[in-house]
Amino acid sequence: MFAACQAWTANVVLVRGTTSIPNKAEQIYAKSVTDRLHRWLTELGIEHDILNDDDVVGGKLTAARIVILGYNPRPDRREMGALAAFVKRGGKIIVFYSAEPALAKLMHMKLGEYMACREGGRWSEIRFNRFAPAYAPDIVMQESLNIRPVYPAQNDAKVIASWYGNMGEEEPAWVQSVHGAWMTHILLDDGDTENKKLMILALLGAYDSSVWRSAAARCMNAAGTLSNRFPDFRTALSDIVGAAHGTIDEIMVAGHLGRAHDSYKALTDHLAGGKYPDAVIGSRDLKNALTHAYIRTYGCAGLSVSARDALKTEFRGIWNHSGEGLYSGDWDKTCRVLASHGITDLFVNVLWAGIAHYESDVLPRSDAYRIKGDLLAQCIKAAHRHGIRVHAWKVCWFLGDAPKELVGRLKREGRFQVSDSGESVNWLCPSGLDNVIMEKESIREVVRKYNVDGIHLDYIRYPNSHYCYCPVCKAEFQKHIGKTLKNWPASVQTGELKKKYSEWRLSRITRLMRDVHSLVKKINPNIKVSAAVYGKYPICMDSVAQDWGNWLQQGIVDFVCPMNYTTDLDRFEEFLNTQLAMPKAAGRIYPGIGVTAAESRLNALQVIDQIGIARRMRTDGFVLFDLNRAVADEILPVLSLSCD
């Protein structure tokens, strides 16, 4: 979380979309975009202030020279007036997507029509041309599924980059004019981060060359200390040499450190000579050499030969939320990448409470199935060819993108969960027998029809502590305690009945876990049954009725993946300490590492550090969230260095 600064003095201002956003859901997304740009600007050493749309209207751009609109699609008339005044006094605007024609006109551009491509691959690269600012990268990778083009409208405006993909060169990706620059989509956090940061820096540097100097110093320091893991470069060298001494990787580490030393000297010369862009770009070589040395030293935690041999059987999993892999329609390519980087287990999201990405006769088949075919069958065939186990990831209760007709029917039948304030939500109630049967039959179908290695349950819980108090829950609980309750739901929210109702809620969720484990094992005892669970146990028992510690003790789950999503290494270790101390937990807990989760965004070294803790604590494995281009490009190559 961050708040808008109170003293607006920086040359660069980042504007968070508020009033320019049409609804609350998109405002939340706009904040995540602002968070991302804020993080990247901070990592580049670029001082900046953060305002919102109302601050712009209120005249808070007086000291700024450059304004960044990260996602502000519809600035109103008042905000447009403030931006026009800003431009009139010489200010520059960098726009990441907008749907406002008046803003395009202000920037000497013309807004085109919205374009979308559901299958991906059409807009995969941003290629800069000869009109691009100095030091802009030649190519930036980004997989955009929609764009809103702009075109030059006056002589001072030029296309400086175009989109490339499976249809060749297409629409403008960046247009630049005397008043600033405009990207025709939002800047996504989907990989190629260093080039995206360099792209931002080059654009800012075109309007304010002083940003290069501060960025050079920050990038050199970050590379030489590995983002403050060490107080300075000299200490980094000394500590890594000491930690690597006597290990089987000592000679290899020395080679990486030698290259790091040479890079550091070159960067020092660049800084002294005022060659700041060269220092920024050269800092990548320093970071790469020092990172390799760090991983070979700490990623394997100084493991002995025998201990390293144990890594050959380590469970290295990854969740794939899209259910389509890295390359839509090409599971073989996805699995080839995963296998090359040491991934052993793939959790593919193919089944929700009301929709399936495979040839289902129990649930409606998704649009992805109709367009791309049986995703589960394709995944299994490719994964097994590359020696990867496949766990069919099942989202329980939550209907997600289920067809409107199904959602409407289930709601009319009273099968939704209802909160203590009487509001319904499109989650199936675990008390309803029809709902339980529907959940189990979809799983039974997968196990019978597909050669899966595992069934992985997610959302096997309630949404929060306010659910469920629907009429079915009331009737079933009254039957359970043998008495009629007059004041519902207040009667079960205090006193003795509160505890009994809490225990009863737990039993509703545990029932599904037990039933699924039983039906799967009867069909094929070799299939592993697992669950993604809340890391904060036993707190999650009261909040979402998820008693996964009890599941382990009862033996109704083969393993669990606690979602230990945090950027705090000490907290990650605390989570694991508590979890591994539970009865029958040994060898059955594979911690979830939130690489690109909402709660955490980890860089490669943070991932390696958390894996190192898991290895030292002998969890025998881990699972990464989530398989996307950012993880594939920036995390998996580093992971493989720590696995051999």
Beta bridge mates, 152: 109
Which whole-number Å values give the CA distances from 564 to 323, 534, 577, in the listed order? 22, 8, 12
Both tokens assigned to 330: 């090409």
Computed over its alpha carbons, how large is the radius of gyration of the chain? 27
Q: CB under 8 Å to 319, separation ≥6 — which residues?
A: 347, 349, 393, 532, 592, 623, 624, 625, 626, 627
How far apart CA 550 and CA 339 sit, in angstroms, is 34
Q: Which one, of 72, 97, 98, lies nearest residue 186 by Cα?
A: 97
Question: How far from the centroid of its chain's Cα atoms is residue 225's Cα?
Answer: 26
Which pLDDT does position 318 carry in this prediction? 98
Q: What CATH number is associated with residue 498? A: 3.20.20.80
Q: Return the higher-pLDDT residue of 118 and 517.
A: 517
Q: Distance between CA atoms of 553 and 139, rounded to whole angstroms?
A: 53
Residue 572 has pLDDT above 70, yes or no: yes
The angle subtended at Cα 637 by Cα 634 and Cα 642, nearest 5°, is: 120
Tell me, yes or no, whether 456 and 541 share the same domain. Answer: yes
The C-alpha atoms of residue 119 and residue 523 are separated, in whole angstroms, by: 36
Mean pLDDT of 542-561: 97
When divided into structural domains, the chain yields a total of 3
- Contacts of 90 by beta carbon, 8 Å cutoff, 6+ apart: 65
**348/469 same-domain check:** yes
- Start-end of H helices in 386-470: 404-412, 433-449
Phi, psi of 495, deg, nearest 5 = 70, -155
DSSP sequence for 125-180: EEEE-TTSPTT--SEEEEEESEE--EEE-STT-EEEEEEEETTEEEEEEEEEETTE
Same domain, residue pair 38 and 114: yes
The verdict on whether omega for the bond into residue 101 sits within 30 degrees of 0, i.e. cis, is no
Query: Which pLDDT score is estimated for 308?
Result: 65
Same domain, yes or no, for 264 and 330?
Answer: no
Q: Enter the tokens of residue 238.
A: 């000394």
Distance CA 273, CA 202 (A): 20
Residue-wise pLDDT tens digits, 394-432: 999 999 999 999 999 999 999 999 999 999 999 999 999
226 and 191 in one domain?
A: no
The CA distance from 356 to 366, in Å, is: 6
Residues 352 and 404 in one domain: yes
Residue 637 resides in a domain: yes
Residue 312 pLDDT: 80
List phi, psi (to 5°) of 12.
-105, 130
Tens-digit pLDDT profile for residues 60-106: 998 899 999 999 999 999 999 999 999 999 999 999 999 999 999 99
In angstroms, the CA 373 to CA 361 distance is 15
Q: Indicate whether 6 belongs to any domain.
A: no
Strand, coil or helix: what is 459?
coil
pLDDT at 300: 60
Give the CB-side neighbour count of residue 316, counting CA atoms within 13 A: 25
CA–CA dist 283, 7 (Å, integer)? 32
User: What pLDDT is stored for residue 230 in this prediction?
Assistant: 96
Query: Of 464, 469, 476, 465, which Cα lies nearest the Cα of 422?
Result: 469
How do residues 168-200 score in pLDDT, each as one tens digit? 999 999 999 999 999 999 999 888 999 999 999
Read off the DSSP letter of residue 600. Answer: E
Looking at the fold, whether 529 and 420 belong to one and the same domain comes out as yes
What is the β-pairing status of strands 528-534 and 454-458? parallel
What pLDDT shows up at residue 601? 87
- Alpha-carbon distance of 112 to 218, in angstroms, equals 39
Letter for the amino acid at 513? M
Mean pLDDT value of segment 332-338: 97
Residue 431 and residue 326 share a domain: yes
Q: What is the pLDDT of residue 3?
A: 36
Mean pLDDT over 304-312 rounds to: 65
Q: How does DSSP classify residue 364?
A: P
> Which pLDDT band holds residue 332 (cuts at 50, 70, 90)?
very high
Say if residues 378 and 442 touch (Cβ distance below 8 Å). Answer: no
Q: What is the mean pLDDT of residues 371-376?
A: 93
Does any domain span residue 104?
Answer: yes
Element (H, E) at 351: strand 345-351
Instruction: Please confirm whether the linkage preceding 396 is cis (ω < 30° from 0).
Output: no
Q: Is 129 left (phi over 0), alpha (psi -120 to 50) or beta?
A: beta
User: What integer pLDDT is reported at residue 22 of this predicted model?
Assistant: 83
**Where residue 248 falls among pLDDT bands split at 50, 70, 90?**
confident
170 and 312 assigned to the same domain: no
Look at residue 1 in the predicted model and tell me its pLDDT: 30
**Nearest-angstrom CA–CA distance, 107 and 98:** 12
Q: How far apart are CA 116 and CA 424, in angstroms?
A: 33
The per-residue pLDDT for 25 is 87
DSSP string of 268-328, one letter each residue = HHHHHTT-HHHHHHHHHHHHHHHHHHHIIIIITTT--HHHHHHGGG-EEEEEETTSS-SST
pLDDT digits (tens, 9 = 90+) for 20-34: 998 888 999 999 999
Query: Is the Cβ–Cβ distance between 595 and 607 less than 8 Å?
Result: yes
Evaluate whether residue 253 is within a structural domain: yes
pLDDT band at residue 306 using 50, 70 and 90 as cut-offs: low
160 and 282 co-located in one domain: no
DSSP secondary structure of 524-546: -TTSEEEEEEESSTTHHHHHH--
Considering the domain architecture, whether residues 72 and 119 belong to the same structural domain is answered as yes
User: Residue 505: left if φ>0, alpha if ψ -120 to 50, beta else—which one?
Assistant: alpha
Which two tokens mark 7?
């003293």
Q: Express each pLDDT in 472-481 by its tens digit.
A: 999 999 999 9
Nearest CA to 208 out of 379, 377, 68 is that of 68
Model pLDDT, residue 5: 37
| Domain edge (last residue) among 299, 317, 348 | 299
Q: How far, in Å, CA of 351 to CA of 370, rounded?
A: 15
Do 211 and 65 touch, CB atoms closer than 8 A? Answer: no
**CA atoms of 213 and 311, how far apart (whole Å):** 44
Residue where one domain finishes, among candidates 207, 227, 257: 207
CA angle 399, 405, 410 (to 5 degrees): 55
Instruction: State pTM to two decimals.
Output: 0.88
Residues in the chain: 644
Decide: helix, strand or coil at residue 122.
Answer: coil
Task: Give the pair of three-digit tokens for residue 130.
Answer: 């000869």
For 144-161, how does the pLDDT look when each residue is reduced to its tens digit (9 = 90+)? 999 999 999 999 999 999
Distance, in Å, from the CA atom of 574 to the CA atom of 244, rounded to the nearest integer, reads 27
**Taking a C-beta distance cutoff of 8 angstroms, is the pair 354, 442 a contact?**
no
pLDDT band at 7 (very low <50, low <70, confident <90, very high): very low
Average pLDDT over residues 625-639: 91
Average pLDDT, stretch 127-140? 97
State which residues form the domain around 238: 212-299
Contacts of 204 (CB under 8 A, 6+ apart): 12, 46, 66, 94, 211
pLDDT level of residue 231 (50, 70, 90 thresholds): very high
Q: 140 forms bridges with which residues in the sheet?
A: 126
CATH number for the domain harbouring residue 82: 3.40.50.880
- 207, 229, 262 - which closes a domain: 207
- Mean of the per-residue pLDDT values for the chain? 94
Domain annotation covers residue 199 = yes
146 vs 311, residue with greater confidence: 146
pLDDT of residue 2: 33
**Pair (196, 222) in one structural domain:** no
